[in-house]
Amino acid sequence: MEHDGQLQLYAAVAVQLKEAHAKVRALQVPEGVRMALTRKLLVITAAAKHDLAGAAGRLERFAEDLDEGRFPEEER
C-alpha cells in the first residue's frame, strides 16, 4: 500500500514540476531571473530522485514564491 502512495506522490510532483516550468517560461522577467528560476526547478527535480517527499515540499515553497512574485536575483 505504501508503494501506491509513493507512486501517487511521484505523479503529483511530476505534474507540479511541469506546471512550474510552464509558469516560469510564461513570466515576463529578465533572462537572468528566468535562468535562476529554471535552475531551482532543476535542483528540485534532481532532489526528487533521492528524497521525493522533501522535493515535494521544496516545490510547494517554490510555487508559493512564484505566485507571490518573490523571484531570485538576476544571474549574470
Q: Name the H helices within 1-76.
A: 2-26, 31-48, 52-68
Entry pTM: 0.85
Res. 74: pLDDT tops 90: no
pLDDT in tens, 10-50: 999 999 999 999 999 999 999 999 999 999 999 999 999 99
Distances in whole angstroms, Cα of residue 20 to Cα of each of 3, 23, 24, 47, 76: 25, 5, 6, 16, 22
Res. 1: pLDDT tops 80: no
pLDDT at 19: 96
**Phi, psi at 71, each rounded to 5°:** -110, 155
pLDDT band at 76 (very low <50, low <70, confident <90, very high): low
d(CA 23, CA 68): 13
* Torsional class of 29: left (φ above 0), alpha (ψ -120 to 50), beta (otherwise): beta
Across 40-62, average pLDDT = 95
